Amino acid sequence: MKQRIVALSLIASLLLAGCSVASSAPVAIPPAQIATPDIASTITAQVDQRLAQQDPTPDVAALEESILATVEERLAAASPESVAKLVEDTVAARLAEQQQTEEPGVDTALIDLYRAANPAVVYIVVPPIGSGSGFVYSADGYIVTNNHVVDGGRAFEVVFASGEHMAATLVGTDTDSDLAVLQVESLPDGVEPLPLAEPDSLQVGQFVVAIGNPFGEQGSMSLGIVSGLGRSLRSQRSSRFGSTYSLPSVIQTDAPINPGNSGGPLLNLDGEVVGINAAIASQTGVNSGVGFSIPVIAVREVVPSLIEKGSHDYSYLGAAFADEISLAGQQQYGLTQSQGAYIIGVTPGGPADNAGLIAADPNSGRGGDLIVAIDGQPINSFADLNTYLAFYTTIGQTIDVTVLRDGARISVPVTLEPRP
């Protein structure tokens, strides 16, 4: 508080000192008629009004005393009105200067982001299959990319922004998340790993930047927004029921993503990786404004496993679900609500089967359990269930599954196993 009062007193004194050079001439009033306490109060009111939303309220009495002394010394012939007007204008200007941020414009921020991030974005050549993008994950030469970029490759060449070429070895792959890890022996001088953003830090409408090598054009950057969250990408690996596993919490963006961008980072404006560009929705094979990125939470969960053992194991429930319960589906299944994950199949001998979860009758589609919560977390759809299993559970963990069965709400403990 004392430092605040001193600072305010100094500001007031400096402002008053400038009155002698004011453009308008002071009103000549004999010193005996000058109400200096009134002047001090006027000045204090102006300062206090503009600082009311700043730090705790200053010591007004101390300010009045400091201002009064300055007024009596230098401004005995000035009118309260002229002092008040000058202080009002000057304080406003001074506070505007203090509050003015030093943040650069958007173009400068993007230039700085590119300069900082692009050295860590690499061009990956997989002869004779094709090419893609990736980024430096750690200082010991690990590089993250898409599984589909390296799938089937026998040799891997990494090209850095500096033009330096390095051979890389394949460390691990995961089909379900479409992630893979390469490693080079060392990084070029000055190349730093890209930081990872915190999970669940994205919001729809937030600006994002994609850096990669579309059509082989190395080091290309594009700007867009997060168009949607909670999307899914289907794995190329089939389940026992003939359907496919899918990766949850996928990011949808309108940042232009084209062939060659795959494996490159999607960044927030702080230069943190929020996703890995993986796919586009297009009939022509080129960007149509709908691109998809693997969420950073998948990178955090999967990549350490790929580095440690070359693969990643997911928790497995051993059941098949209706993707979405429409009103027609709700009526067909005989359910009292559409929110939840409806079990339409159970793998014999799997965790769900062993725990006693019930699947719908294959003929009528009725009689199955509707999962509405896991460990107390609401499950409103299969996407919610898939996200929870993929990113918030571990193999061997026993989860508490809440289901609606025959109109009753019951709890079923299920011990998870590795996904086959």
At 209-219, the pLDDT tens digits run: 999 998 888 99
Q: Is 262 a catalytic residue?
A: yes
Homologous superfamily of 112-183: Trypsin-like serine proteases (2.40.10.10)
CATH for 315-418?
Answer: 2.30.42.10
Given the residues 9, 66, 133, 148, the one annotated as active site: 148
152 backbone φψ class: left, alpha, beta (φ>0; ψ -120 to 50) = left
What percentage of the chain carries pLDDT values higher than 70?
72
Q: Which of 378, 117, 64, 411 is nearest to 265 (CA)?
A: 117
Q: State pTM to two decimals.
A: 0.72
Q: Is 9 a catalytic residue?
A: no
Q: Is 315 a catalytic residue?
A: no
Range(s) of the chain covered by CATH 2.30.42.10: 315-418
Q: What average pLDDT does this structure show over 242-270?
A: 88
Q: What average pLDDT does this structure show over 37-64?
A: 61
Question: 107: pLDDT confidence band, cut at 50, 70 and 90?
Answer: confident
Domain 207-309 has CATH 1.10.10.520: no
Q: Note the pLDDT of residue 68.
A: 63
Q: Of the ranges 88-92, 133-137, 321-325, which one carries the lowest mean pLDDT score? A: 88-92
Given the residues 174, 176, 177, 178, the one annotated as active site: 178
Range(s) of the chain covered by CATH 2.40.10.10: 112-183, 207-309
The residue assigned the tokens 């001193």 is: 6
Given the residues 131, 220, 262, 315, the one annotated as active site: 262
